[in-house]
Chain A
Amino acid sequence: MRRAELVMALVMAIFSAYLMWKSAELPIGWIPGEGPGGGAFPFWLAGGMLLCCIAVIVRWVLRASPPSRSTEPYMDRHALQLFLVGAGALAVLIGSIHFIGMYGAIPLFLVFYMRFIGRHPWTTTTMLAVVTPVVTFFFFEIVLRITLPKGYTEPLFYPLYDFFF
């Protein structure tokens, strides 16, 4: 936990500095008769972020904040594993939407999560993996007319569009 506190503060300090540099693309000073320039608001606030990071680091050195005193690990092996599986599955879900579309990615994700993490029986898994995309389709595409991404599966939907619209 102690190391994580320092690493996070350092990463955020670098991020703040980057934001300050990026904000400086627009004027950051006081324009006479007009008030602050376009970059001033994010620039000085990012400066505030940087100061806060420094304060966090100082408190780390002084061991003033609870995480900097903690001897517990930031993430034990088990927690890390859970985190990687959860966030990883989500990243794969979002990534695959670009290719197989929402209606391809949702069932795959549900099967993976329910069957292989939750160990639910195949019947429940299959049922939800079929029902969820169908309900999504009707609610979003037909009732609300919000088209969801379909990637390469788009042509498969042409007959459905012809039928419903």
Chain B
Amino acid sequence: MKYIAKSTISGLIAGLLVTGGMLFAPHDALAWEPKKPVDFVIMAGPGGGADKMARLMQTIIEKHKLATKPFIPINKPGGSGAEALIYLNSAKGVNKDHTVMVTLNSFYTTPLRQPQLQIDISTFTPIGRMAEDSFLLWVHKDSGITNVTEFVKAAKAKGNNWIMAGTGKGQEDSLLTSFLNSAYGLKMKYVPYKGGGRVAKELAGKHADSTVNNPSEQLGFYQAGTTRPLAAFTPERLPLFPDAPTFRELGKSGMVYFMQRSVVGAPGMSKGAAKYYQRVFKKVYQTSEWQGYMKKKSLRGEFLTGKKLKEYWVTEKKNHAKMLKDIGEI
């Protein structure tokens, strides 16, 4: 994958653009400011990864007084994010300038899987990509499995009795499970649970044989020595888990996958408003709190905004369409 090189370059360009933008900042500040509290829609339920991150952003905005009006979080998890997308799509009048949303990969998959919603994500206003979350393959320590070869052997032996726990069907975890099944000729059984934290617990309680959790979801169990990462779906090893090789090292170069943590604005948002939010979230990204959080939870990725972010969405949407087609979901 050319992923890394591309994102570095795009990051540089984005950085330049933003630095350029900052010179004009005082001038722009006069142009537009929110008139009322901003609806900060979260495309997931309370307590999940996206929710925690959104509340962290809100807290940073309040603590550093980055915005003149409060950002008010609203959870709209309905229909794998369908409800949130419809909400943004139908924002009218002044609300178009006062509605932003924290989004993840269901931003691509939900409109693809439910075409009747008639959501075109290219109409949404790009605000900023705050981070990309990584995925690893996890097993319980007591399984005695220490590497992917042993994992494949054990999973093959158990056939479709091997339980892979994950979040909702058609979402990230199930895509990765299909990856693994086809790459290694496995028949793992996929069991959907509500939320990544719950999935992590199913593994720790030995109700599941393996999971593909984000680092943040398994960190507690990992540090206590209950669970073990076998390999990462990243281009290079994660600093937090230096012993876990990447699937690329193991010869599966196609197995790289990330979860975006981005902020989008309602379609048809005015230019001034978009600029305002882009600046707010750029500042959030630069705070020591956000940087510290990214480091601790093994998040990666530069701040992307504007055109670059739109291009990123186009590529990712194409990738997801292909993945969903491969597993027969669309």
The interface of chain A, by Cβ under 8 A from chain B, is 33, 145-147, 154, 157-158, 161, 165
Is B291 close to A, CB under 8 A? no
Within 8 Å CB of A158, what residues of B? 35-36
Q: Beyond the given A145-B72, A147-B36, could you list 18 further A-B residue pairs with CB under 8 A, ordered by the A residue number?
A: A33-B160, A145-B37, A146-B72, A147-B37, A147-B39, A147-B72, A154-B36, A154-B94, A158-B35, A158-B36, A161-B35, A161-B36, A161-B37, A161-B69, A165-B37, A165-B68, A165-B69, A165-B70
Interface of chain B, helix or strand or loop or mixed?
A: loop
- Once the chains are docked, how many angstroms separate the CA of A165 from the CA of B34? 11
From B35, B36, B37, B70, name the one whose CB has the most chain A CB atoms within 10 angstroms: B36
**Interface digits, B32-72 against A, CB 8 Å rule (1 contact, 0 not)?**
00011101000000000000000000000000000011101
Within 8 Å CB of B70, what residues of A? 145, 165
Number of residue pairs spanning A and B whose beta carbons lie under 8 angstroms apart? 22
Looking at the assembled complex, report how far the CB atom of B17 sits from the nearest CB atom of chain A, in whole angstroms.
30
Looking at the assembled complex, report how far the CB atom of A102 sits from the nearest CB atom of chain B, in whole angstroms.
14
Residue of A nearest to B95 (CB): A154
Q: Which 4 pairs from chain A and chain B are nearest by CB?
A: A158-B35, A165-B69, A161-B36, A147-B37
Which residues of B1-57 have CB atoms within 8 Å of chain A's CB atoms? 35-37, 39
Within 8 Å CB of B37, what residues of A? 145, 147, 161, 165
- Once the chains are docked, how many angstroms separate the CA of A145 from the CA of B38? 11
- Once the chains are docked, how many angstroms separate the CA of A146 from the CA of B70? 11
Residue of A nearest to B93 (CB): A154
Which residues of B72-97 have CB atoms within 8 Å of chain A's CB atoms? 72, 94
Within 8 Å CB of A161, what residues of B? 35-37, 69
Within 8 Å CB of B69, what residues of A? 161, 165
